[in-house]
Structure 1
Amino acid sequence: MYMHRNVTDKFIGTVASCDIISTGSWYGDLPDGVPKEVKLNRKDYYIEEIQHISIKEAISVTYGIKWEHISKPVEDKIESFSTTEYTIEESKKQYLLELMGRRFSDDIDLYDEDECAVQVQLINTEDQEFIYEFPFDNTLRAMSILFRQILGMPTLLLFDGNREKDRIQELHIEVQKNMYQEYGDVNTLHFNWNEPSISIDCNSKQFGHSSYSHSEYVDNQMIHQLKQEIDFHLGETLYRLNSFSLSESHDLDRDPARGGIVTVRIKWAHKEDTLFIGNVTNQYVPTWYKNLINFIHAHTRDKSLQEFLQSNHTSDRRIYTYCSVYIFKINQEFYYRTDRNDIYEGDIVKVPFGSDNAVRTGRVESISYHTRYDVPYDLKRTKFIIDKDIEIIYDTNRYRYDDPYDL
């Protein structure tokens, strides 16, 4: 099945060195060595990747880029931008060379050179050179997988062109919610592919969330399905994800960041960690993050995962009116909200109080105006003034609890 390029159709002797040159479509973002013009107008170019694996005294892998304009007569160019050397056991290196010798001593067929994407150059111990060229071939998939495993490089093109995405090992998410110009709530999620384990912990100063840990009772089948879901639907996106920080596109946001900050750290089997830092708002949290949380929620059924998504506030620019109301007989002031414009300091008002929302009477001591970022008490938990009261009606019932917001 190979097109022979030298004096014989089959390899003879013992392999002393091996070079494998594979050419395929470029995978992922273009590296720094590629001109800006090509990067910005990528759709106007044929862009190919050249991988050169050399197995001699050491093993080295060199990556290159070849680009050619689709319509303009621009000369091709190959830019070498990365060479990495790998140290493996001598026995493993000899095993790879023996494997190549056995494989290319088989019968071969001729191919048109234009169809060829792989070139293999073998030199035996007698210093004879054998060159073979052929298209990517799925019958060589098993040998390609074996090479990738031994070299520890899942993205090599090799003989089948079916490079594998690097595998996620751990996923860590931390969400710091913005609570009135400080990060009051911290929620964390940790997913370990290898344990397997998953833990989801939500800690809130304001609402007093308990911490939930799933590590002790996690279901292995659930973990397996969740891994498949993430790998199949998001694996490509997460692999290609670049590091990102708030400063790159959040210069107009408040400090602390509007809504809060989400940090996602992904540990891979081979490549360096992926770090994403974004803002917990619809404008900045990407679709892949929302889908990731939804996948985990679908399998764990954990309601606390809603804390990992953006808060659903109706408006960031609305002005809220807060009144400090002195409750008679309780002898304390408490905050209440109002949407009325006819309430003034000194007015006598009726307000709901306590867990049963009993109607109490009080006096408005002060009025202040706030955005949701600087309200003096939790926006959602602050109760509203019921009405103005013309006559002062003193409470006769002694109240047994001193928190009007006890729900």
Structure 2
Amino acid sequence: MDGYGMDISMLRGPVVKVVLVSSPIGGRRGRLYGVETEQRLSLSEKGGAFLTRYYEMEEDEEWHIRTIRGKLRANRKTVRAVMEGILESLPHLQCVLADDAGDWELILEDSKGNRCRAYGTLEGDCMAALSDEIREKLGRKDLFLFNGIYDRVDRLEFTLHRTEKIRPGDPLPEGFSYVTWDYHEKMVIDRASETVEYDRQIFEAADVKTRYHLEEAVSSFLDGLSPWVFSIVEGNPKDVCVDPLRSCDYTIVLTMEKGGKREIRGSYDKKGLPADWPAFAENFFRFLSYYGLGEIFNAAAYGKVRRREGELIFCAVSFEEGGQEYWYMADSDEYEVGDFVQVPAGVDNHVAIGRVESVVYCQKEEAPYPVDEVKHIMGTAAEAAEGSEGSTR
């Protein structure tokens, strides 16, 4: 939506103070533990330059804002140069607001205490040159300013460590009551090498190592992760029951493009994990599953029967999970079990999306449905599959 431009006609004297408030989370909702949610940069020739930073924190199950305020190392000449740079850029301010993005607010105050304001969206291209110039003059690369610090995740490391004390059936050496099972998993998603590595140490003498090299695909997946991913962790209550014979903990390390690192630790359970872990795990599993296990273990590959000359192709299609199956004829061998296809359905032959449940090759006289009456598959519909739930014949 449109924002508000700056009406400097309200000022009655020279500008003596400039305040820039920047928030990268904008309209986002939810607790962001330990994340910097706002910066307030205050500039004045007499007072110098001050930076106030706001973080969301939790102590004793109570959320509060932690504030850190400090004076920047900038002399009067530097502060004045920064203020003049902002004032000279006023005609070029991009005052647009977006509900789903971060935002900034610029406040100018004159010598008589009059103020005027402007608002805009905190985005990469907004006043980028001015923002970079201010960071350089003040010697602070971590300022949000007008365009934010748009970092990205370059590497994600996830480790899981589970220990279990097991009482075996066979007698143990004297002084031992349990056998300890020490289990480890480690997953690394790395942009630089475009690889995913997934290692499991099942027993001391049993380990599995898997490596995927997926050029561009790994970068694309990491691009979909917010720099604030895994920031919200509810945590278990203090009176949670703990199994003395079992523990399972995790560590997540995120390495950012600009060199920063974030580390998240906790118990591997619903409240000990970040709130967005289930969504991440599902998306990542789907991402890796796309590449499958190859042909060796694929029943559809080793169990496929080749069509003989003269045989017709019939596909049983369903329109809901576990629903009734209907026969359609296919005009090519391109369809396999699990494919989503477009078919004419109902008396009016409206287009519906169904799933192929089985494929049968047969001669005309052995057809599961009269050849003269059967309808034909119109084509694949993989892209429309998700939006087709609930279609009926």
- For normalisation by structure 2, the TM-score amounts to 0.46
More strand by share: 2
More helix by share: 1
- For normalisation by structure 1, the TM-score amounts to 0.44
